[in-house]
A and B are shown apart, each in its own frame.
Chain A
Amino acid sequence: MNSFMDLMAGFGTVLTPVNLLYAAIGVTIGTLVGVLPGIGPALTIALLLPVALRLDDPTGTLIMFAGIYAGAMYGGSTTSILLNTPGESASVATSIEGYQMARRGRARTALATAAIGSFVAGTISTILLAFVATPMAKLAVTFRASDYFALAVLAMVTVTAMVGASLVRGLMSLTFGLFLGLIGLDSLTGQARFTFGVPELLDGVDIVTIIVGLFAIGETLFIASRLRDLPAHVTPLEPAGKGFAWLSRADWSRSWRPWLRGTALGFPFGALPSGGAEIPTFVSYTLEKRRSKHPEEWGNGAIEGVAGPEAANNASFSGVLVPLLTLGIPTSATAAVMLAAFGYFDLAPGPQLFEKSPEIVWGLIASLFVGNVMLLALNLPMIRVWVKVLQIPRPLLYTGILVFATLGVYAVSGSIVDVFIAFTIGVIAVFMRRYEFPIAPVILGVILGPMMEIQFRRALLLSDNDLTIFVRRPLTLILLLLAVAALGLPHLPKLIARLRGRESAKRLAFSDED
C-alpha cells in the first residue's frame, strides 16, 4: 500500500498550524462565495491568485484553493435550500426538495443532511481519488465524442422525472432551456444562432445569468406579486429536533443511502473530461425519486432529494481532480484556474506530478480530508446562523437577493446587457411560476442540449458523416441501449396513462411538485 504511506506523509504535510490555517481560510471563503449568486469558486480563485503568488507557498496556496472549491460546492446549497435561489447550476437539483423542506419548517434538517452528505461524499470520493486516480483517468480519456453523445442521451432520458407532474409543461420548460442553450456562436463553425444582432449574445447566455434570472430575480418578482397572501414571516421554523446534528433517526436512515449513491454518481462524472457536476445531481435526484418509499413526499420536501444531489455535487469535485492531477486536464472552470496556479509554481500536473512532487499531491489530497472535516465543523454549528436568514424581514431579505443577483451578473461580466438578460429571464420566470411551468428542466435543457448537439456533430465530423459511428463503438452502443431501456421500460405505461388523462389524479399527490 504505497499510496497509503504517501497519504500518511501528506497528512504530515497538512497538519501543520500554517497549512491548517490555509485550509480554514479556504473553506470559509469558499462557503461565503458559494452563498453569493454569480460569484463562484473559479472567479474567486482567479482573483486570489495574484495574492497567493506573493505568499510563495505552493502547498499552502493549493490547499487553500482546494478548500475554496469544496466550500463553494457546499455553500451553494444553503441559499438553494433556504430561499430557492441557487447560485450555480450544481445546486439547482438540491433546491427542488430542499426549498420545500425549508417551506415546511425543516430547514435545519435539510441543511444538516446537505452538510453531512457533503462530508460523506467528499471523504469517500477523496479516498477514491487517492487510490484509483491513475486507472480512473486512463479510463476517462478513452471516452470519445460518440460516447459523450450517448452519455448525454442516457442522462436526458434518465432525468425525465425532473419534468414533473405535467408532461406538456415540463417539456415546454425543457424546450425553453434547449433554446437558451442554442443562443450564441456555434462552437464548431462560429456561426451565430439566435443572437438577434446583439453582440453580447454571441458568447451565449451564461449559465449563471440564467440561474440568477430564473431563481433569484424570478422568485423575488413572484413574491412581490403575492405579498398580501403571504404570512408575515418567510417560514415558521420547526423547533430544533432532538436527533443528533438535527437529523432524527428516521432522517439518518433515509439519508445515508442517497449519500452513497450520490457519491457513486458524482465521482465518475467529475472525472470525465466533459462530465461536470450538474448531470450527476440531476441523475441522483431522479434515482432517489424512483427508489423512494415515500413518493407522496416528493415535491413536498423529501429528504432524499437533498441528500442525494448534494452528495453528488461534492463527490464530483474529487472526480474533477482525477484528470487534473494525473493528466493535467482541467474539466471545469475552477480546475482550469487551479491548473494555472500549478503552472505559476512550476508544477506541471500530469503523469509525473505524482513522482516529482509527491509532497504537494498528497498534501493536496490530505488537505481535502482536512477541509471536509473543517467544512462539517464549520457548517453544522453555522446552521443555527443560516436559518436566522429566514427571520430577516421579507422586504429586506428579497431586496438583498436582488442586490446580490445584480452584483453577481454585473461584477463578473461588466456588461449591463447581461444584467438586462438576467432581468428578462426573471420576468419569463415569473410567468413560468404563474402558469406553473417547472423551472429545473430549463437548466437541464441548457446543460444537456449543447452537450448532445456538439458531441453528436463532433462524432459525425470525426467519422466523415458516418452515422454508424454510433453503433460501431461498443461503449457508445451500450450507453445508447441503456438509454432506450431507461426510456422504454419503466415509463411506457406511465406515459400512456398520463397522456390518457390520469394526470389530474396524479396531481392530487404531487400538487406542489412542478
Chain B
Amino acid sequence: MTSALPPDPEQATPEAAPSASGAPVAGVVLLLAGAALLWQAVTTGIDNGVTLGGPTLAPIVVTGLWVAVALGYLLEAVRKRAVAGEAAGLTTWRTPLLLLVALVCYAVVLKYTVLGYVLATAVFVLVAARLLSTRPVREVIVRDLATAVALSLGIYLVFTRLLGIVLPAGVLPL
C-alpha cells in the first residue's frame, strides 16, 4: 500500500525491489534513534526502578525491540545493496519540502496572526495547488482561485455557523 504509484498499474514490475539505495542510511538513522530512545528508557528505569507491574518496563522492552529490528533492517539493507534496483522512489525532494514549508507557515499564520482562517486558507490553497501542479499558471489560475475561495469560505461557514467550532475570523468582516 505504501509503494509508489507506478505509471501504469499493469507495469508494476517486480524489479521495484524494496531495498533501494539509501536504505543503509535509513537503517543507520533508525538504529541511532532507537539507541537514543533506549538510552532514555534505561536511564529512567535506573532512576525509578524497574518492576514487572511498573511504568518503566514497557519503554525498555519497546525501544530494545526497536534497536534489534533496526539492526536487522540495517544488515538486510547492506547485504542486498548490490542487487537492489532503484525503487520507484522519490524523484524530487524539492516539491515535498516546499509543500511542508507552506504547511508550517499556514499553521503558524492560523495560530499567531490576525489574518484569519479564510484568508490564510485561501492563500495556502493557491500556494499548495501551484506547488502540486505541473501546468502553467495562466491555464489554471481561475480554477485555483475559485477553489481557494469556495473551500475556505465554505469550511469557515460550516464550522463556525453549524458546528459551533471557533475558527479565527481574522481581518475579514465575517
Q: Known contacts A169-B73, A171-B72, A420-B107; can you find 17 more A-B pairs with CB under 8 A?
A: A182-B58, A191-B55, A217-B103, A225-B92, A395-B128, A395-B131, A398-B132, A399-B125, A402-B103, A419-B107, A423-B100, A434-B89, A436-B2, A438-B2, A457-B55, A465-B52, A514-B18
The chain A residue with its CB closest to the CB of B159 is A411
Distance from A504 Cβ to chain B, minimum over Cβ atoms (Å): 8
B151 close to A514 (CB less than 8 A): no
Scan residues 47-70 of chain A and give those whose CB is less than 8 A from a CB of chain B.
47-48, 50
Residue of A50, A220, A396, A411 touching B147 (CB-CB under 8 A): A396
Distance from A71 Cβ to chain B, minimum over Cβ atoms (Å): 16
Cβ of A244 < 8 Å from any Cβ of B? no
B20 close to A224 (CB less than 8 A): no
- The count of chain A contact residues (Cβ–Cβ below 8 Å) is 88
B69 close to A175 (CB less than 8 A): yes
Q: List 8 A-B contacts (CB under 8 A).
A: A171-B72, A178-B62, A225-B91, A396-B125, A403-B151, A406-B110, A423-B107, A434-B87
Scan residues 13-33 of chain B and give those whose CB is less than 8 A from a CB of chain A.
13-14, 16-18, 20, 22-23, 26, 30
Scan residues 92-119 of chain B and give those whose CB is less than 8 A from a CB of chain A.
92-93, 95-96, 99-100, 103-104, 106-108, 110-112
Residue of B20, B88, B92, B110 touching A435 (CB-CB under 8 A): B20
B62 close to A427 (CB less than 8 A): no
Residue of B40, B44, B58, B96 touching A430 (CB-CB under 8 A): B96
| Docked pose: A507 CA to B76 CA in angstroms | 15
Distance from B13 Cβ to chain A, minimum over Cβ atoms (Å): 8
B18 close to A435 (CB less than 8 A): yes
Cβ of B43 < 8 Å from any Cβ of A? no
Distance from A302 Cβ to chain B, minimum over Cβ atoms (Å): 12
Cβ of B157 < 8 Å from any Cβ of A? no
Residue of B70, B110, B128 touching A416 (CB-CB under 8 A): B110
| Docked pose: A404 CA to B132 CA in angstroms | 16
A449 close to B62 (CB less than 8 A): yes
- Classify chain B's interface size: 35 or more
- The stretch of A94-102, A361-369, A475-483, A484-492 in contact with B is A94-102
Distance from B6 Cβ to chain A, minimum over Cβ atoms (Å): 8
Distance from B27 Cβ to chain A, minimum over Cβ atoms (Å): 9
B59 close to A224 (CB less than 8 A): no
A420: chain B residues at CB < 8 Å are 104, 107
Q: With contacts A225-B92, A457-B53, A507-B14 known, is A194 near B37, CB below 8 A? A: yes
Q: With contacts A47-B164, A175-B69, A178-B62 known, is A230 near B5, CB below 8 A? A: yes
| Docked pose: A402 CA to B152 CA in angstroms | 12
Cβ of A186 < 8 Å from any Cβ of B? yes
A404: chain B residues at CB < 8 Å are 155
Scan residues 122-151 of chain B and give those whose CB is less than 8 A from a CB of chain A.
124-125, 128-134, 140, 143-144, 147, 151
A402 close to B128 (CB less than 8 A): yes
A189 close to B54 (CB less than 8 A): yes
Cβ of A210 < 8 Å from any Cβ of B? no
A394 close to B132 (CB less than 8 A): yes
A437: chain B residues at CB < 8 Å are 2
